[in-house]
């Protein structure tokens, strides 16, 4: 069989394209598992209180780094008594943004427990929570909290990391007779 020079060159070019394609595919086969493993290693920062141990968050270790932000009965606080009004305003601003995001994401709850850990720059480092309800409700809360985490900065400025917590109950209080 006689093949013209032009046809043979086109044949060789196609072989070279196939080899290049095979190299790319081979590289993807090896890289995809590495990328996937790296993604699963991303540290979770917004976690249900019940899941902290499962994702490797040690609450005692966090509490040793992040001291109480401030409160009327606090003995070792990040903010002193002269800063309490501004601190309360900052905490209320955080809760307002969180509640707005929760409404936007249709998160339902009868009792919400939030423990926020802030860096000195005012960014949310960790947010541990209990919202109750279904897994879908928990996922909607995480989406709402991620939205707040991406934009919120606590003011006033702090000299170091601090924490604050709150329990918010919805509904009428019950009184014992």
> 51 is written with which tokens?
């899941």
- Residues with Cβ within 8 Å of residue 85, at least 6 apart in sequence: none
Task: Please tell me the predicted confidence (pLDDT) of residue 30.
Answer: 54
Task: Please tell me the predicted confidence (pLDDT) of residue 40.
Answer: 39
Task: Please tell me the predicted confidence (pLDDT) of residue 66.
Answer: 95
Is pTM, for the whole model, over 0.85?
no
Could you state, in chain order, the average pLDDT of each consecutive group of 10 residues for the chain (177 residues)? 63 72 60 43 78 89 92 81 90 96 93 94 95 92 96 93 90 50
Task: Please tell me the predicted confidence (pLDDT) of residue 163.
Answer: 94
In the Cβ-directed half-sphere of 26, how many Cα atoms lie within 13 Å? 6
Task: Please tell me the predicted confidence (pLDDT) of residue 41.
Answer: 39
Closest CA to 156 of 76, 90, 68: 90
Number of H helices, E strands in the chain: 4, 5
Task: Please tell me the predicted confidence (pLDDT) of residue 13.
Answer: 73
């Amino acid at each position: 069989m006689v093949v013209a020079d032009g046809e043979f060159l086109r044949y060789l070019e196609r072989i070279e394209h196939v080899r290049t394609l095979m190299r790319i595919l081979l590289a993807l086969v090896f890289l995809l598992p590495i990328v996937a493993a790296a993604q699963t290693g991303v540290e979770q920062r917004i976690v249900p209180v019940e899941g902290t141990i499962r994702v490797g968050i040690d609450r005692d270790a966090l509490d040793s780094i992040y001291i109480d932000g401030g409160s009327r009965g606090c003995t070792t606080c990040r903010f002193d008594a002269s800063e309490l009004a501004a601190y309360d305003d900052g905490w209320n601003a955080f809760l307002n943004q969180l509640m707005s995001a929760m409404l936007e994401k249709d998160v339902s709850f009868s009792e919400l427990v939030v423990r926020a850990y802030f860096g000195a720059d005012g960014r949310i480092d960790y947010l541990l929570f209990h919202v109750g309800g279904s897994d879908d409700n928990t996922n909607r809360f995480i989406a709402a909290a991620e939205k707040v985490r991406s934009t919120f900065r606590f003011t006033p400025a702090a000299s170091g990391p601090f924490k604050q917590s709150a329990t918010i109950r919805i509904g009428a209080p019950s009184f014992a007779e």
